[in-house]
A and B are shown apart, each in its own frame.
Chain A
Amino acid sequence: MTDITQRLIQCIPRLRRYAQALTGDSNRADDLVQDSLERAWSRLHLWRESGDLRAWLFTIMHNIFANNVRQYARTPPMTSLHDGKEPAAADTGLDHILHLQDVQRALQELPEAQREVLLLVGMEQLSYEEVATVLDIPIGTVMSRLARAREHLRVSLGQPRPAKRPRLLRRVK
């Protein structure tokens, strides 16, 4: 039982990172992690030793996030993310260095369901099967969301950044 305590604590940094990328806001991310840990503790008796603890925690976090998307959703950025960097030239692919701020912004443009898949695969490096289990969706759905999310990021990051983009209204169906 204390072994599990230890293992759970070890998972916290990764959960925090994932939650930050998911919510785009460090406070909301920690709220989400805190709620997830709380639920994990209250359901620890349901968890089987043989399972993958991290995947189980992601499942819990996904459920809480999905049920409270509005609560955790990030408000659109108040200030411009421009910091004087040269915008990337169009049609050159992503050969320039990706600025992490831009990556987070592009993630924020994705629908939550696609963002989750992309982060679980790209950041957390879970297998497609694991992602399907965590999110409780068929693997075909994992693949289609992944493809759409990646393509969106590719286009979004490859474009020169317009001075004003109506970020709030941007939604990909």
Chain B
Amino acid sequence: MNDRDARVTEQDLHAYVDDQLDQARRAEIEAYLQMTPAEAAKVRDYQRINQALQTLHQGVLAEAIPRRLRRQSKPVRRRRAGWQAAMVAGWLLCGGVIGWWLRAQWPMPLPPFRDALVQEALQAHAVYLPEVRHPVEVPAEQEKHLVAWLSKRLAASIQAPKLTAAGFELLGGRLLPAGDGPAAQFMYQNAQGQRLTLFVRKDVKGSPDTAFQFAEKNQLNAFYWIDQDLGYALIGDVERDILTQLATSVYQQLTY
């Protein structure tokens, strides 16, 4: 122990500045600095530089993330031509293999289910969103009943995810017609009166699961995805990054 305080190296001084020393060594360095004003002055300058670096461009941290960067932050995103070609080739190969096994369902381009899902969800959202007196069929006070009822009608386990942490309370839900079967809609509202709907529909055709996908129509943002045999669409006129967070939360609650 004694030989190490005998020799304070340049490295020690930097580690001191960066707070990367254990307590004992720290104390030794402090003692050393008291005896060597020149070194102490240098250390103080280094500390000031660190402080300045931590303040540098601090404004960026509070800025909204530019759209072009947010777009990259989705599992489904634009890629460069080379990647795109590789991806297309990859998917074609996968498709070929799957198709071989499921010849009954081949050829199977992008299933129309997704389009239908988004369309129906957007329509339902547009119809019920402005409702003041009857936004929902079964109010949130009867959530248990609502969930049991919708689960029974859709013949699937349906949950109403909690978005309270993001400021959105469940208003309730309703049963809707969708294509040739039923669908469920949950409606949420925050303190500012912004509303969200989560549309859930059973997919009888067995479309493959998808990651989040984004759709935008008439200033409405929608995230939709297919998981197991259920299709989901979360819609709202909130900022896209907020909707991303909400969709992430919904996805996690429904999947795990």
A-side residues, CB < 8 A to B, are 1-3, 5-6, 8-9, 12-14, 16-17, 20-21, 26, 30, 33-34, 37-38, 41-42, 93-94, 98, 100, 103-104, 118-119, 121-123, 125, 127-128, 143, 146-147, 150, 153-154, 157-158
Contact = CB atoms under 8 A, between A and B. Distances in A.
A5 B65 contact: no
B10 interface: yes
Contacts of B79: 38, 42
Nearest to A98: B52
Nearest to A104: B56
B55 A150 contact: no
Given A9-B70, A33-B69, A100-B52, A2 B42 contact: no
Given A119-B53, A123-B53, A5 B69 contact: no
Residues of B in contact with A, size category: 35 or more
Contacts of A104: 56
B241 interface: yes
A6 B75 contact: no
Interface of B: 10-11, 14-15, 18, 20, 41-42, 44-46, 48-58, 60-63, 65-66, 68-70, 72-75, 77, 79-80, 83, 211-212, 241, 244-245, 247-248, 251-252
Contacts of A13: 60-63, 65
Chain B binding site: helix, strand, loop or mixed by DSSP? helix
Contacts of A154: 42, 45-46, 49
A133 to B, nearest CB: 15
B56 A128 contact: no
A67 to B, nearest CB: 15
A38 B71 CA distance: 10
